[in-house]
Amino acid sequence: MAKRGKRAFKYRFYPTDAQAAELSHTFGCVRKVYNLALDARTQAWTRQERVNYNQTSAMLTAWKKTEELAYLSEVSSVPLQQALRHLQVAFTNFFGKRAKYPRFKSKKKSRKSAEYTTSGFRFREGRLTLAKMAGPLDIVWSRPLPEGVTPSTVTVSQDAAGRWFVSLLIEDPAIQALPATTTAVGIDLGITSLATLSTGEKITNPKHERKDRARLARAQRELSRKARGDGANRARARRTVARVHARIADRRRDFLHKLTTRLVRENQTVVIEDLTVCNMVRNHPLARAISDAAWSDMRMMLEYKTAWYGRELVVVDRFFPSSKLCGACGTLRSKLPLNVRTWMCECGAVHDRDVNAAKNILAAGLAVSVCGAGVRPQRESSRTGQSVVKQKPPRREP
């Protein structure tokens, strides 16, 4: 039997007024329970005490019995329990030094979502009904679910643009290792060219944000003219800005999905650089272009897709001088400004900066892949739970 993997299928749906009111109430209760539990665990932490998930679950039962928080019983208990589990995961990541201390959820800024496990929904003949919800959801099935599968988790959310989404987590039998190949590719990420491959191919950066920059600026100016507060006019202007951002993000995500799927299907080994995007965006003149390129999203997609399809992702150390290293003789230049796109080595080789970098990244990645584990620890992918090879390549003498 083929090994199965988990995959989420996300669809848009249109709730009735009653369903929208019930879901909005559920979102508020989920946020309230999360904040109450975080506050309780924080106060216990100041007293040098530990509070775990079971204790917060008991607290939830007690909260429902109080007059002030009796409204928590009006919604399904499943998403409330899931909120406590998410908080437990957040603390586990904090104590494991993989994340910062959990923060309180804001009514205006936090993501509006509720997660239901199998006891909190019914899925029959393509109709999804949530617990304590009047009737099934009106889902737009933009693509069919695999036959014979049943969701294990359902997540309902509403984005800043006011759109409603439902995500169904299933065991997808289509996720299995692809036939092995001998091809490998190195990828040099950039701004003018989003990705330059070691094969010499350059993938143009679509620059989705720049295409909609005028529309976004116009919407933001309209928002800035509205009086601050909770007025309806400001809320409409805020949704207009959010719709423009959503349009940009959707187009960017679609492009990256198509690109990463193609790279994983065509190559057995994919080698990329370990870029610190959070530090790079501090360069003010390039921050907007770097954010629009979404290199972190591309890496995340490569991580879980290579794990799905039996491929290997090698991440080369960020300090590896891929651009300044001659791919022909190994000579290392002392300096290579960003405005220099083509350069000649002392050996006579003429290099395209990005193509040369991609070839060096590939060579370094294949070297550490063959030699085995290096000095850098492996990083666990949050999407797959599998480790991603993150190696420091051997130094090459100039």
In the predicted structure, residue 354 carries a pLDDT above the cut 70? yes
Encoded tokens for 110: 């936090």
Asked if 213 and 135 touch (Cβ cutoff 8 Å), the reply is no
Q: Give residue 392's pLDDT.
A: 45
Q: Which of 316, 294, 293, 314 is nearest to 303 (CA)?
A: 314
Q: Of the listed 115, 209, 292, 354, which one is catalytic? A: 354
pLDDT of 58 > 90? The answer is: yes
Name the band, by pLDDT with cuts 50, 70 and 90, for residue 322: confident
Which carries the bigger pLDDT value, residue 353 or residue 104?
104
What is the C-alpha end-to-end distance of the chain, expressed in Å?
51
Short-list 292, 323, 341, CA closest to 188 = 323
Q: Which amino acid is at 305?
A: K
CB 266 within 8 A of CB 260: no
In the residue annotation, 273 being an active-site residue is answered as yes
Q: What is the dihedral of CA 272, 277, 280, 281, to 10 degrees?
A: 140
Task: Please write down the HEC assignment for all residues of the chain.
Answer: CCCCEEEEEEEEECCCHHHHHHHHHHHHHHHHHHHHHHHHHHHHHHCCCCCCHHHHHHHHHHHHCCCCCHHHHHCCHHHHHHHHHHHHHHHHHHHCCCCCCCCCCCCCCCCEEEEEEHHHEEEECCEEEECCCCCCCCEECCCCCCCCCCCCEEEEEECCCCCEEEEEEEEECCCCCCCCCCCEEEEEECCCEEEEECCCCEEECCCHHHHCHHHHHHHHHHHHHCCCCCCHHHHHHHHHHHHHHHHHHHHHHHHHHHHHHHHHHHCCEEEEECCCHHHHCCCHHHHHHHHHHCHHHHHHHHHHHHHHCCCEEEEECCCCCCCCECCCCCCECCCCCCCCCEEECCCCCEEEHHHHHHHHHHHHHHHHHHHCCCCCCCEECCCCCCEEEEECCCCCCC
Sign of the torsion formed by the C-alpha atoms of 11, 247, 86 and 32: negative
Please state the rounded mean pLDDT for residues 306-331: 86
Q: What is the pTM of this model?
A: 0.83
Residue 316 has pLDDT above 50, yes or no: yes
Q: Which two tokens stand for residue 226?
A: 């509205």
Share of the chain above pLDDT 70, in %: 91
Query: Known catalytic residue: 188?
Result: yes
Q: How confident is the model over 140-151, as a mean pLDDT? A: 90
* 360/330: higher pLDDT: 360
Summarised one tens digit per residue, pLDDT across range 180-221 is: 999 999 999 988 899 999 999 999 999 999 999 999 999 999
Question: What single-letter amino acid sits at 163?
Answer: R
Kindly state the tokens that stand for 322. Answer: 């891929």
Instruction: Give the range among 127-131, 304-308, 346-350 with minimum mean pLDDT.
Output: 346-350
Catalytic residue among 22, 115, 209, 273: 273
d(CA 306, CA 328): 30
**pLDDT higher at 329 or 305:** 305
Predicted local confidence at residue 334, as pLDDT: 77
Catalytic residue selected from 115, 188, 209, 292: 188
| Distance between CA atoms of residues 72 and 80, nearest Å | 9
- Give exposure, 117-138, as e/b (b: 16+ Cβ within 10 Å): beebbebeeeebebeebeebbe
User: Residue 385: pLDDT above 80?
Assistant: no
Distance CA 133, CA 80 (A): 15
pLDDT tens-digit map of 28-49: 999 999 999 999 999 998 898 8
